[in-house]
Chains A and B, each alone.
Chain A
Amino acid sequence: MTRKDWRIFLLTALLIAAFPWMVQPVKAVSHYVDVMVFAGIFALVCLGVTMLMGYAGQVSMAQAAFFGIGAYTSAILTGRFALDPWLAMPAGASLAALVAWVVGIPALRLKGHYLAMATLGFGVIVHIILNEEVEWTGGPSGMADLPGLHVLGWKLSTELAWYYFVWGTVFLALLFCFHVLHSRVGRALRAIHEEESAAEAMGVPTARYKVQVFVLSAVLAAVAGSLYTHFVTCLNPSSFNLMWSIRFILMVMVGGMQSLWGALLGTVLMTFVGNEWLHVFAEFEILVYGAILLVVALFLPKGLVSLFTRKPIVHNA
């Protein structure tokens, strides 16, 4: 991390830590803590999307599927087999990693439109499985009464506890992502984004790195899915459909996908937009999403952070 990133990191951490104390006394916005728990969970997914799309330049329309794999593995293992959530979570992450690896090796040989379609198709298949395997997943009506989460013997019973736990996890993941980006792998990923054949000619094992970052994004999404399961304690497949994959991409694009900070900003902003401010539109919010996506892609392809920085944000090691 550069000195500038450390400064932003500390500032953001302080802001996140102070946020509940600022909103909770005001009744009208006290439930923002709840919204922020969702934002934190989505942020984990979006950090993965940023690594994959923003840095390595590879599209994935399947992140909601990995989110779902994590969520449903946790739900099935804890709900049906009474396994400890802390064992179910790594199981879900491992399953997502395995699936991402198996799908990623052939898929990431594809580029651009083909890669987008392949991941899209894979995501839809996972969604169909979640709907059809009624005995395991409860089918379209989903599962309910799933267990919550204990951390070091403490039950996360309030939203405030969840808030600090989730955002603590987000900051850990953020540190890890920065670490990856400033390593040899991170430089290689940016080289792949810039010009894949040149990177390959310079001896970068492009195929291996692309699959690795895909697996990383899948693991982050799966962990987020597990947290989601234990936070909301009920699931149904509609939270893991194609529209959600698009929403994750939208979150990252709004903030600016070539910066991890942009991803965080976009995620928080779009979670508030989705959970709070679009309720007036009810189900027509989809029109607003389409419009935002179009406007951002056409006029602000580098996202909101590009308004704050003159230079394109590149994290030089």
Chain B
Amino acid sequence: MDSFSLGSALLQYTVSGLTIGVIYALVAIGYNIIYNVTEIINFAQGEFVMLGGLFAVFFAQSLHLPIFLAFVAAIGLTGLTGFAMERLVIRRARSSTVLSLIIITIAVSILLKGTAMFWWGKNPYSLPPFSSGRPFIVLGAAIQRQAVWIFAVSAIVVVCLTLFFRRSAYGKAMLASADNPSAARMVGIPVRQMVLLSFTLSAAIGAAAGVSITPISLMEYDRGALLGLKGFGAAVLGGLGQFFGALVAGIVLGLAESFCAGYLSSGYKDAVALVILLLALFFKPEGLFGSREAAKLKRF
């Protein structure tokens, strides 16, 4: 009996680690898309996740839309926010130094966070799960239905993006814009539109993560920074720009965090992902799946 409950606790931590891990992976993918096209790290990425969750709360609870419509609407509205961010701010700053760009995206993140506090206040909000019902019981561990939805959403996102960037003309054009903007322009790729598209897409994916996680862990105005930072940890660990790497690294971070919360200290669970982020940056900045040669050529 004792060994059984130990085993099921382990399984339970694994499940919750996987759930939060794929969320980090989605955030990481958001970083990767913008990075792939512009070589900018968007410090406001975490705020898109927060906005996605809170927009969904607005659509589902204030406007009483069904949850799937709220999901789509929240993603659309957050994508629009990303669109506006690029159009109104980033485009003006294209000639800025890296330092100014960092400050600018940080300023945007503060503005988004402040606006969210203005609209929604400081309370956490919850959302009904995508489908109701009892959790699945597998070997004594409870798997919430929402967790299954989170896996599904992230699997769809990863597959679609990989196909998009590998197969579609738009995706290839986006990669080309990152590689060499002037050469891309020369062969007729509208680089500016690609940048705009990358911000929109990345905001939308962040929002998908935000909406999916809200039924499990609630959402409030100041969750963005930490989610963003951990997502960045996953992006670096997986190799910046690598979608599959981000998925693996996100899951590694999620599991590490969940085991720390379960077996060591729940107060320090947030620190685990950050320590892994620092270790990755210090000792393997090209990530587990990135190429060392390519990393040397990057601007940072």
A211 within 8 Å of B (CB atoms): no
A242 within 8 Å of B (CB atoms): yes
- A293 and B299 contact, CB distance less than 8 A: no
* With A128-B271, A290-B107 as contacts: A59 and B225 at CB distance below 8 Å: no
- A112 and B281 contact, CB distance less than 8 A: no
B133 within 8 Å of A (CB atoms): no
* With A117-B281, A118-B278 as contacts: A283 and B232 at CB distance below 8 Å: no
| Chain B interface helix/strand/loop/mixed | helix
B100 within 8 Å of A (CB atoms): yes
User: Which residues of B are found within 8 Å of A293, using beta-carbon distances?
Assistant: 103, 106-107, 110
How far does the alpha carbon of A259 sit from the alpha carbon of B281 in the complex, in Å? 31
- A297 and B278 contact, CB distance less than 8 A: no
Residues facing A in B207-262 (CB within 8 A) are 225-226, 229, 232-233, 236
Query: Least Cβ distance of B46 to chain A in Å?
Result: 11
| Chain A interface helix/strand/loop/mixed | helix
- B114 and A110 contact, CB distance less than 8 A: no
User: Which residues of A are found within 8 Å of B99, using beta-carbon distances?
Assistant: 53, 57, 59, 112
With both beta carbons as reference points, the residue of chain A lying nearest to B235 in the complex is identified as A117
- Using an 8 Å CB-CB cutoff, how does the interface string of B162-184 with A read, 1 for contact, 0 for none? 00000000000000000000000
Query: Least Cβ distance of B114 to chain A in Å?
Result: 4
Residues facing A in B109-150 (CB within 8 A) are 109-111, 113-115, 117-118
A310 within 8 Å of B (CB atoms): no
Query: Least Cβ distance of A111 to chain B in Å?
Result: 4
B274 within 8 Å of A (CB atoms): yes
A289 within 8 Å of B (CB atoms): yes
How many chain A residues sit at the interface, stated as a range, is 35 or more
User: Which residues of A are found within 8 Å of B118, using beta-carbon distances?
Assistant: 284, 287
- A124 and B229 contact, CB distance less than 8 A: yes
Query: Least Cβ distance of B223 to chain A in Å?
Result: 13
Residues facing B in A34-75 (CB within 8 A) are 53, 57, 59
B268 within 8 Å of A (CB atoms): yes
* With A118-B281, A121-B233 as contacts: A291 and B267 at CB distance below 8 Å: no
A301 within 8 Å of B (CB atoms): yes
How many chain B residues sit at the interface, stated as a range, is 35 or more
* With A113-B41, A132-B267 as contacts: A294 and B108 at CB distance below 8 Å: yes
How far does the alpha carbon of A114 sit from the alpha carbon of B232 in the complex, in Å? 10
- Using an 8 Å CB-CB cutoff, how does the interface string of B256-283 with A read, 1 for contact, 0 for none? 0000000001011011001101100111
Give the contacting residue for B226; candidates A59, A117, A124, A291; CB below 8 A: A124
Query: Least Cβ distance of B47 to chain A in Å?
Result: 11
B98 within 8 Å of A (CB atoms): yes
* With A128-B268, A286-B117, A289-B110 as contacts: A59 and B281 at CB distance below 8 Å: no
Pick out which of these stretches binds chain A: B20-28, B89-97, B191-199. B89-97
How far does the alpha carbon of A284 sit from the alpha carbon of B115 in the complex, in Å? 8
* With A59-B102, A297-B107, A298-B89 as contacts: A110 and B285 at CB distance below 8 Å: yes
User: Which residues of A are found within 8 Å of B233, using beta-carbon distances?
Assistant: 121
With both beta carbons as reference points, the residue of chain A lying nearest to B278 in the complex is identified as A121
A253 within 8 Å of B (CB atoms): yes
User: Which residues of B are found within 8 Å of A110, using beta-carbon distances?
Assistant: 281, 285, 300
A32 within 8 Å of B (CB atoms): no
User: Which residues of B are found within 8 Å of A298, using beta-carbon distances?
Assistant: 89, 92-93, 96, 100, 104
How far does the alpha carbon of A289 sit from the alpha carbon of B108 in the complex, in Å? 10
- B100 and A301 contact, CB distance less than 8 A: yes
Residues facing B in A79-112 (CB within 8 A) are 106-107, 109-112
How far does the alpha carbon of A110 sit from the alpha carbon of B107 in the complex, in Å? 22
With both beta carbons as reference points, the residue of chain A lying nearest to B103 in the complex is identified as A297
- A297 and B285 contact, CB distance less than 8 A: no
* With A113-B41, A117-B229, A125-B275 as contacts: A290 and B299 at CB distance below 8 Å: no
How far does the alpha carbon of A39 sit from the alpha carbon of B202 in the complex, in Å? 40
User: Which residues of A are found within 8 Å of B98, using beta-carbon distances?
Assistant: 111-113
* With A121-B229, A124-B229, A283-B117 as contacts: A114 and B285 at CB distance below 8 Å: yes
How far does the alpha carbon of A110 sit from the alpha carbon of B278 in the complex, in Å? 11
User: Which residues of A are found within 8 Å of B300, using beta-carbon distances?
Assistant: 110-115
How far does the alpha carbon of A125 sit from the alpha carbon of B229 in the complex, in Å? 11
How far does the alpha carbon of A116 sit from the alpha carbon of B98 in the complex, in Å? 11
* With A242-B225, A301-B100 as contacts: A114 and B281 at CB distance below 8 Å: yes
B49 within 8 Å of A (CB atoms): no
- A294 and B89 contact, CB distance less than 8 A: yes
Please indicate which of the listed interface residues B104, B114, B118, B270 has the most CB atoms of chain A within 10 Å of its own CB: B114
Given contacts A106-B282, A294-B108, 20 further A-B contacts (CB under 8 A): A59-B99, A59-B102, A109-B282, A111-B98, A117-B281, A118-B281, A120-B229, A121-B229, A121-B274, A125-B275, A128-B267, A128-B274, A132-B268, A283-B117, A289-B110, A293-B110, A294-B111, A297-B93, A298-B100, A301-B97
Query: Could you list 12 examples of A-B contacts with CB < 8 Å?
Result: A53-B99, A57-B99, A59-B99, A107-B278, A113-B40, A113-B300, A114-B281, A116-B102, A118-B277, A125-B271, A290-B110, A293-B103
Chain A positions near chain B (C-beta within 8 angstroms): 53, 57, 59, 106-107, 109-118, 120-122, 124-125, 128-129, 131-132, 242, 246, 249, 253, 283-284, 286-287, 289-291, 293-294, 297-298, 301
